[in-house]
Amino acid sequence: KVSYWLTNFVYDIVKVFVPILITIAFLYIYNLDIEFAWLMILLYPTAIVPYTYVTSFFFNDEAAAQNFTIIHNFLIGGLLPIVMNVLRLIESTRTLGDGLVWLPRFIPIYNTCGGIIVITLKDTIATSRGDSSPDALSFKAAGSDVMFLVLEFFFYAFLVVVIEAGCCSCCRKKGKNIVDNEEVLDSDVLKEQQRVENISESELAVKANHLRKVYGDKVAVKNVSFGLSFGDCFALLGVNGAGKTTTFKMLTNEIVPTTGQSFIASHNVKSSFAEARKQIGYCPQFDAIFGLMTVREHLEFYSKIKKIPRQFVEDLIKDQLKSMNLEQYEHKLAGTLSGGNKRKLSVAMAMIGNPPVVFLDEPSAGMDPKARRFMWDIISKISTRGKNSAVILTTHSMEEAEALSTTMGIMVAGQFKC
């Protein structure tokens, strides 16, 4: 997570700094003397980027976030600084303005725009206050704006760390207090729950123990328990919205369960995910491929991500190309592949390094019957025939589940029915 956020921060800072540096260059080219406005402009990206990261956690919809940004920038960055400075210029409202100016101080766009206005109007402001030698960077002028822009970088960066660490658990606590409706469970489901409770995670490849996920007042996954040994293939069968993908995401630490624990090859997914993820191969529901990279480049890229020793990479790539029947597409751009071949490539990437646990989210989606049968054979070799890996797959097809799985669970409304 640290590398993810640092990479995004560096990229976003560079992306924002380019137009900012151009703006500053134009200020000097046209001899626009606004003193320390360049300092406000330079500090703005360092504060607004982590601020944006924090606000992003409040939105699930891109359009809503975009609308919020437009309105937020217009009101707080454009209108509010003008109103505040007008209040501070008028003697009868100066005390009110001096008090209200502190309310939006922890919003970067306000400090930047407000600081530039203060620098531009420093002489007028100083005259209204009886100051004969105005200083643009005094605390009563733009100095406070500069200080807050610096503080905001550290404050919002810290908030991102806190949120990512899961310390803001108010939503999870709320979810824990929501009681599930009592339902009579199938005898096989109860037996599996009891088996998982009484067996050590060291004896299983995958252990999911009473996993539960709540969003607001909606229970998405209810008390899911199962355990897999190496060589098992477990099929999660259910319609869209049954809770299959949410269960997948909890097992791979993409989302944090409200309650319950999961283990991958004896490693706790929540507390020891750095070790657990080394044991995982993951094929997502939607192909995670780069259209402008070739098939070979994808396999090389994922080999480096999984830290495969260089001397083994070439043989590994050849084996994956051959096993997935992708040899003729080795140097072809992945974006030009058919839907079936894209799924093959996704499975090939998941299998790099022969991971002990493989997650396949609808692996045969979009394939014709012949390609689907081919994929089924590959999955069977991975798990039941090789006995080297445990496979968990999601599917809508009972035929696929029966053909591949050693055990299956049918999910309805977030829980196993059988």
Do 230 and 368 belong together in one domain? Answer: yes
Range of the domain at 141: 2-168
Q: How far apart are the first and last CA of the chain?
A: 37
Count of domains observed in the chain: 2
> In tens digits, what is the pLDDT along the chain, a chain of 418 residues?
677 788 888 899 888 888 888 877 887 777 665 666 778 888 888 999 999 999 988 887 778 888 888 898 888 888 888 888 788 778 788 788 778 878 888 899 888 888 887 777 766 665 666 565 556 666 666 778 888 889 999 999 999 888 877 655 544 444 555 555 556 577 888 888 889 888 888 889 899 999 999 887 788 888 889 999 888 888 888 888 888 888 888 888 888 888 898 999 889 988 888 888 888 888 887 878 888 999 999 999 999 988 889 899 999 999 999 988 899 999 999 999 988 888 889 989 988 888 889 998 888 877 788 888 888 888 888 776 556 788 898 888 888 888 888 888 888 888 888 7
The reply to whether 188 and 156 lie within a common domain is no
DSSP single-letter state for residue 247: H
Q: Which residues contact 50 (CB under 8 A, 6 or more apart)?
A: 9, 152, 153, 156, 157, 159, 160
Residues 196 and 118 in one domain: no
State the sign of the Cα–Cα–Cα–Cα dihedral 302, 307, 310, 315.
negative
Side-chain half-sphere exposure of 11, counting CA atoms within 13 A: 6
173 in any annotated domain = no
DSSP E strands: which ranges in 146-258? 206-215, 218-228, 233-237
Tell me the β-bridge partners of 281.
358
Are residues 268 and 364 located together in one domain of the fold?
Answer: yes
**pTM here?**
0.62
What's the sign of the alpha-carbon dihedral 371, 373, 378, 382? Answer: positive
Position 174 in a domain: no
310 and 210: one domain? Answer: yes
Is 309 within the bounds of a domain? yes
Instruction: Single out the residue in 168, 202, 219 at which a domain terminates.
Output: 168
80-95 burial by CB neighbour count: b if 16+ within 10 A, else e? bbeebbebbbeeeeee
